[in-house]
Structure 1
Amino acid sequence: MSQSCQIVPWFKSKEWFEVYEKIYSSPSLKSKQEALEILLVWKARCPSLPAGIESTLGLLEVHIQDSTQVNEKLLRLAYATAMMRFVNHMLDAEIAKGASLHQAAKVSDVPDWIIDLRHDTAHNNVLPSLEILREASLIGLEWLNNNYWSKHRDYIKDFVSGHKEINSTDENKISVLINFCTTLSICASPSCKIKNVSEIADNNMREAIINDAQDLFANSMDFSNLKTVSIVSLVNTLNINAKRLLKSKNTPALVNKALTSEDSLFLSSDLLHYLCETDFYVKGKLSFQYVQCFEVLLTFLQTNDLLMDFVQDLIKFTNEENDSEKRKLAALWVSETLQALKKSVLFSHKIKGSDPDQTRNKKRNELKLLYKHWFPNEKRSGLLLDVHKGVPSEWMDIKFIQPIISAYNPYLIYFIKPLLDLVEPSVSKINIEKICNLAKIISTPESGPAHSIKVYTIEDLQSSQTSRIVAQGQDPDSDCMEICEEEILENTTVCEEEFQTGIWQRASTNYNWSLCPVGILPWQIRIKH
């Protein structure tokens, strides 16, 4: 078990917060009585309670007794005992260091007169008055709220056996790393025409890159002369240190969290409106200039085997987030990424057919030039990732993507075709077209054919007939309506007779309806011999 974990008397953290709320958030005596009962259960579970809880139990118990106890002498004795134990428990740590009670009280911010009250209780023949003891008790409970309950509430957590908690240091480090990589990716975009750090026009972006680089790489980079620090050198330094910076077991989850956070530039509405507004809203796609801003980032994720986890997280994002603009943006990024992976597959097949060793021996920039030479029409057609890396086999398996394409998602239409294009063996174009059309109908039901009126009962038929008469401008209370009702009853009688003696028959329960194709009845399936 982790050394930061401790055995406690409460069953789970929710129980601790329940007691805290009942004592300090609710004014009712009933809530405080319920809190006391739970505290007594804790005392039974663990006779040696934490000092803050032990003192709270004593003061709360006498506070509740005061609402029902009529014997003033017993009340004063109970209050005095509870206050004495409160002072002893809460100042014990300071006294152990050699401080006097008054010195300990001053350090702990306990009023001096509370110490004097304790002295009178312990040594005088007469106990303090009930009014003073009540006031002291309320001050003691408030002190416990400020110095025990409020201070500990941020640290009360459940420990799950076998579960390793995310280290906040790892989370902060990866958040800085992803922010640095994202900002660097924007600066590295060809459209920005930035060669070194000094050419970054935005002061905030320049300072962010410098600060993040110093946090990540310590003193390994010299920023004394920004004209000598190139963007390319920062990208190379990032790639060299990637494994060291991404060694946390929770890396995929932390990376995805950083990229989809409110502060991330990846799904930033401001950047989208600045670079891609017309394409996004009018054409329903991402502009080439906008996509290039994140090529370094997505290539970094792909090289470090984080890209496909991120794509899967983006797909979840499209189905869970409330912001429709961000959901659409995430869906378009899924589409762009999957299309880029398909390009890598096509290029990989072509290069292996000509020379299997070329992929391993050539650098990425050389392969990129070769790709543009072989596919000249693809120069301005979106994202191009690292062709050294292949596509994970599960993303090429129809069984793996089946839950994605079969689940309701209004943004599925943006990336279902690129998803199906990755499948091997490949799905036929006709089937892809049918699946895409089905996804469009499901995601945009308003664009499909108008719903016909469903008639299951006589009341449904009567309602339909009334609607037709009103649409024709006739009075629904007229003689015409009475004639229609008679026709409905006659037709219903005929239908019931036909059902009993005519062509209608009950379907047999022996058929396996789940294996029956849509539009075909079980007994219409031809058995192949």
Structure 2
Amino acid sequence: MSLSQKHSGKVLVPWFNISEWKLVYNLIYSENSRDWPKALQILKIWKHRTPLLSAGVEGTLIVLEALLVNTSQLSAYESSHIFSTSLVRFLNLCAANSEKQGTFYKTAMQNELPNWLVSIRHDIAHSHKVPSLSMLEMSLKFCLEWLKEKYWGVQGDNMVDFVVEEGDSVVVEDCVFIHSHLNGGEINENNRRLMKRVSKFVGDRGEVSDVIERVDEALRNEFKVNREKSSDKICKLLIDSLRILNTECEEDDSGSKNIPTQFVNKWTNLLNIVLEGEILPNFVTSLFKFTVDSTHSFSHREVASLWIKEIFSGLKTQNSQSGLSFRTQSDCMKSRTFVTEVLEHLSPFTLNFLQEVLEYNEAPTSFIEDSVCLVSAFNTCSRSSGDKIYTIDDLGIIEENLGGDTMEIQPSIQTKSRWVLIEDTSPYMNLPLGILPHQDPNINPLLTV
């Protein structure tokens, strides 16, 4: 029956664990009733946590609250009405939570409630005379014992604590946060949020000077333990959250756009660890997908494309004095698949990194030149005309640009047509298309009715 929640699966309950549940059970069914107030207090806390309690717990709360009423401060009439109401509520709750609904008598028999208890409920609901206070109190105590057998005993045998597994490590999040708040490689000790994360690596009394070394070592270990999850986290924290994309581009003397050197230096150490952890291919792929996704802002897509340029330039020229520099040489991005993706999914930013990608992958010079030329032509043809809306007045300008002779188009009139060409079009002036003069409300006022 549903009182014992005999169903498979996990159930959200208001108690923290089985120990708390058993505490209440022992308080209710101790040798004396002095522990009942404490049990009732916990039951009310459960009710506050989960308003829709299981029928067994809700029934226990109803019965126990009635039995703890101070009858010495109430008249017999008031006490009997409190007991009666609680008893009817409890019995109705038992009947309403049966698997098969029927008459109350049949449901009570199925739940092994005695006939005399059903009769008392009938007298309370339909008779002019309410049963005596002692009879009502005895009935409530019987219900409490019935709950012990039908709910608390059965539930105690079937309950198992569901232990939540330890959450994902936040090492990657902490390391990225610390790197993002470095100021010229220095830690701002006045930043409380930053120092709270720093303390995880150096402790409360540790030296802040060696925090970067410890942070980087922790990040390397995290990459070794769980590379796949760490890779996804790095991409989300740096790219999806725009941490590595929130900067303004700069133009050099040749007109080429670049990421500011100070901003590149800020992330150089972290990107070196990403390379060492064999996460760089996934990171670059995520940057590329970001550049071709038109839902992102133009400026962020541009910065993402320039990061691809920086990464391939750094891989191609080890220990570069300017721009991104990698400490180790790697062929991890030599991939025909990636080159194909770049050439098949063009965007306004492809030219920012195309040459670097092809040179790193050792493409022939002629192929690089042809590819750059074709992508440049693609960008020229795909440029939009902005927000201008063209009208018929612009046809004259187009005609002038096209040049050549113009040809007047003569209307074709069929000699044997039932239609006659109207020369006087004045009756149709100021009329919408498809409306005849006799359909104009201004001429025929009846049309407005």
- 1:178 equivalenced with 2:151 (yes/no): no
Compute the displacement of 1:117 (Å). 5.2
Counting only pairs closer than 5 Å after superposition, residues 3-14 of structure 1 correspond to structure 2 as none
What corresponds to 1:213 in structure 2?
198
Cα distance change, pair 318–105 in 1 and its aligned pair in 2 (3 A)? farther
User: 3-state SS of the aligned residue for 2:296?
Assistant: coil
Cα distance change, pair 50–483 in 1 and its aligned pair in 2 (3 A)? closer
Cα distance change, pair 277–430 in 1 and its aligned pair in 2 (3 A)? closer
**Conserved? CA contact 2:222–2:230, under 8 Å:** no
Q: What is the TM-score when the length of structure 1 is the normalising length?
A: 0.44
Task: Give the fraction of aligned pairs with identical amino acids, expressed as a percent.
Answer: 17
* Distance in 2 of aligned mates of 1:182 and 1:402: 33
* Distance in 1 of aligned mates of 2:306 and 2:8: 56
What corresponds to 1:343 in structure 2?
317
What corresponds to 1:253 in structure 2?
232
The RMSD of aligned alpha carbons is 4.7
Compute the displacement of 1:265 (Å). 2.9
Residues 424-463 of structure 1, C-alpha deviations (whole Å, 9 max, x = no match): xx22222212101222332442569xxxxxxxxxxxxxxx
Compute the displacement of 1:234 (Å). 2.2
**Conserved? CA contact 1:315–1:334, under 8 Å:** yes
What corresponds to 1:386 in structure 2?
327
Cα distance change, pair 100–421 in 1 and its aligned pair in 2 (3 A)? same
- 1:481 equivalenced with 2:403 (yes/no): no
What corresponds to 1:187 in structure 2?
184
Cα distance change, pair 278–435 in 1 and its aligned pair in 2 (3 A)? closer
**Conserved? CA contact 2:238–2:244, under 8 Å:** yes
* Distance in 1 of aligned mates of 2:171 and 2:205: 24
Q: Tell me which protein shows more helix as a share of its residues.
A: 1
Residues 314-344 of structure 1, C-alpha deviations (whole Å, 9 max, x = no match): 1111122421111111111111011100113
Residues 445-487 of structure 1, C-alpha deviations (whole Å, 9 max, x = no match): 2569xxxxxxxxxxxxxxx99x85998899x9xxx525799xx
**Conserved? CA contact 1:120–1:127, under 8 Å:** no
1:428 partner letter = P
- 1:241 equivalenced with 2:218 (yes/no): yes
What corresponds to 1:430 in structure 2?
366
Cα distance change, pair 482–336 in 1 and its aligned pair in 2 (3 A)? closer
Cα distance change, pair 240–91 in 1 and its aligned pair in 2 (3 A)? same
Cα distance change, pair 182–439 in 1 and its aligned pair in 2 (3 A)? same
* Distance in 2 of aligned mates of 1:237 and 1:473: 75
**Conserved? CA contact 2:245–2:304, under 8 Å:** yes
* Distance in 2 of aligned mates of 1:116 and 1:172: 53
* Distance in 2 of aligned mates of 1:390 and 1:471: 54
What corresponds to 1:101 in structure 2?
63
What corresponds to 2:56 in structure 1?
92
- 1:325 equivalenced with 2:311 (yes/no): no
* Distance in 1 of aligned mates of 2:10 and 2:89: 17
Q: What is the TM-score when the length of structure 2 is the normalising length?
A: 0.51
Compute the displacement of 1:383 (Å). 1.0
Residues 259-280 of structure 1, C-alpha deviations (whole Å, 9 max, x = no match): 1243x53222xxx24xx56669
Cα distance change, pair 252–168 in 1 and its aligned pair in 2 (3 A)? farther
What corresponds to 1:407 in structure 2?
345
Counting only pairs closer than 5 Å after superposition, residues 21-420 of structure 1 correspond to structure 2 as 48=7, 90-93=54-57, 101=63, 103=65, 115=86, 118-119=89-90, 123-125=121-123, 169-170=167-168, 172-184=170-182, 186-188=183-185, 194=186, 197=187, 200=188, 203-204=190-191, 207-215=192-200, 217=201, 221-222=202-203, 224=205, 229-230=208-209, 233-246=210-223, 247-248=225-226, 249-262=228-241, 265-268=243-246, 272-273=247-248, 283-320=256-293, 321-344=295-318, 379=321, 381-387=322-328, 389-392=329-332, 395-420=333-358
Greater Rg by CA: 2
Which blocks of at least 5 consecutive residues in structure 2 are unaligned? 13-50, 69-82, 93-117, 127-164, 385-394, 413-449
Cα distance change, pair 223–89 in 1 and its aligned pair in 2 (3 A)? closer
* Distance in 2 of aligned mates of 1:126 and 1:104: 16
2:290 partner letter = F
* Distance in 2 of aligned mates of 1:173 and 1:436: 42
2:199 partner letter = Q
Compute the displacement of 1:252 (Å). 0.9
**Conserved? CA contact 1:91–1:101, under 8 Å:** no
**Conserved? CA contact 1:182–1:265, under 8 Å:** yes
Which blocks of at least 5 consecutive residues in structure 1 are unaligned? 1-42, 54-86, 107-111, 129-166, 189-193, 345-370, 372-377, 449-463, 486-529
Compute the displacement of 1:396 (Å). 1.8
What corresponds to 1:367 in structure 2?
none
* Distance in 2 of aligned mates of 1:397 and 1:236: 32
Cα distance change, pair 472–383 in 1 and its aligned pair in 2 (3 A)? closer
Cα distance change, pair 433–104 in 1 and its aligned pair in 2 (3 A)? farther
Compute the displacement of 1:224 (Å). 4.4
* Distance in 1 of aligned mates of 2:205 and 2:231: 34
**Conserved? CA contact 1:94–1:104, under 8 Å:** no
* Distance in 1 of aligned mates of 2:288 and 2:215: 27
2:286 partner letter = D
**Conserved? CA contact 1:174–1:254, under 8 Å:** yes
Cα distance change, pair 265–483 in 1 and its aligned pair in 2 (3 A)? closer
1:210 partner letter = M
